[in-house]
């Protein structure tokens, strides 16, 4: 059974810092990995999708990497801003399935 | 292009009642998945529909059911509501082929009293 773990559970940083969020999964049969952002009481916003054939993906100040052999993915946020404050979730389906298994998320607070 | 639309946004129901939630996927998407989010259990997969057929099912009791219509819109039904069914219910749609990127709606907040 796929299990996804996110570390740390919560993070508070001053504005401008670069930071790394970690995601680990137990089953290397993960097909791809997706990072989401969730604001309180809202739905999920897709940030980055790393397909199984890729090792990393970039969008603006965000960079996500995927290492299937070690069961790890990281989300790097450069020059953090107060507007980045949210919960960040990673999730992935097993090969051949569309059901996503989610981590419990990292709650990020960026202090102005 | 319009995103995933979920209605209603908020619902309050009494224990024992039933409820129906609706999800309209992104135009052209034929896969619709449902998830339950609670503070204690996080995000858990309920089921996935593709071309009006349930393709995957999570580990939830039979009180949770769904269906998909020919226009890809999906409904989720919960019968005999329990207090523990209070949650944010999220719907996601995915493109019909290729990668499995999921796009989520804003969710329906269900409160059972």
CB-based contact (8 Å) between A48 and chain B?
no
Least CB-CB distance to A93: which of B100, B104, B105? B100
- Backbone torsions φ then ψ of A84, nearest 5 degrees: -80, -10
DSSP 8-class letter at B17: -
CA angle B104, B107, B109 (to 5 degrees): 160
Place of tokens 């995000």: B43
Q: How far is A25 from A2, CA to CA, in rounded Å?
A: 7
Least CB-CB distance to B101: which of A34, A42, A43? A34
Is pLDDT larger for residue A53 or for residue B81?
B81
Is B100 in Cβ contact with A98 (below 8 Å)?
A: yes
CB pairs under 8 A between A and B: 62
Chain segment B90-105, per-residue pLDDT in tens: 999 998 776 678 999 9
pLDDT for A44 equals 96
Least confident of A57-66, A78-87, B6-15, B91-100: B91-100
- What the block records as the tokens of B81 is 């509501």
Chain segment A68-107, per-residue pLDDT in tens: 888 899 999 999 999 999 999 999 886 566 789 999 999 9
pLDDT for B99 equals 63
Chain segment B38-52, per-residue pLDDT in tens: 998 999 999 999 999
- What the block records as the tokens of B31 is 């896969």
Q: Which residues of B30-67 are buried (b: 16+ CB within 10 A; e: fewer)?
A: bbbbbbbbeeeebbbbbbbbbeeeeebeeebeeebbbe
pLDDT for B38 equals 95
Is A43 in Cβ contact with B106 (below 8 Å)?
A: yes
Nearest CA-CA distance, residue A71 and chain B, Å: 19
Q: What is the mean pLDDT of residues B12-32?
A: 96
Kindly state the percentage of chain B with pLDDT values over 70: 97
Strand order across the A56-59 sheet: A4-7, A19-25, A72-77, A62-67, A56-59
CB-based contact (8 Å) between A49 and chain B?
yes
CB-based contact (8 Å) between A98 and chain B?
yes
pLDDT for A92 equals 86
CB-based contact (8 Å) between A99 and chain B?
yes
Check pLDDT > 80 for residue B23.
Answer: yes
Is pLDDT larger for residue B12 or for residue B56?
B12
The DSSP secondary structure of A16-38, one letter per residue, reads: T--EEEEEEES-TTB--EEEEEE
Is A31 in Cβ contact with B94 (below 8 Å)?
A: no
pLDDT for A95 equals 59
């Amino acid at each position: 059974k796929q299990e996804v773990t996110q570390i740390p559970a919560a993070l508070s940083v001053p504005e401008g810092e670069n930071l790394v969020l970690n995601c680990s999964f137990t089953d290397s049969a993960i097909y791809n990995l997706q990072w989401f952002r969730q604001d309180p009481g809202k739905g999920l916003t897709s940030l980055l999708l790393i397909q199984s054939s890729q090792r990393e993906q970039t969008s603006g100040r965000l960079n996500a990497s995927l290492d299937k052999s070690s069961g790890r993915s990281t989300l790097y946020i450069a020059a953090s801003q107060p507007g980045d404050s949210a919960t960040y979730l990673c999730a992935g389906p097993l090969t051949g399935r569309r059901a996503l298994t989610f981590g419990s998320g990292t709650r990020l607070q960026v202090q102005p | 292009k319009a995103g995933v639309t979920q209605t209603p946004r908020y619902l309050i129901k009494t224990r024992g009642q039933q409820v129906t939630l609706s999800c309209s996927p992104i135009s052209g998407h034929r896969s619709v998945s449902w998830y339950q989010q609670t503070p204690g259990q996080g995000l858990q997969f309920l089921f996935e529909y593709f071309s009006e057929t349930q393709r995957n099912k999570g580990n939830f009791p039979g009180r949770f059911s769904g269906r998909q219509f020919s226009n890809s819109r999906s409904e989720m039904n919960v019968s005999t509501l329990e207090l523990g069914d209070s949650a944010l219910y999220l719907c996601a749609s995915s493109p019909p082929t290729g990668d499995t990127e999921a796009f989520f709606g804003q969710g329906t907040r269900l409160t059972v009293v």
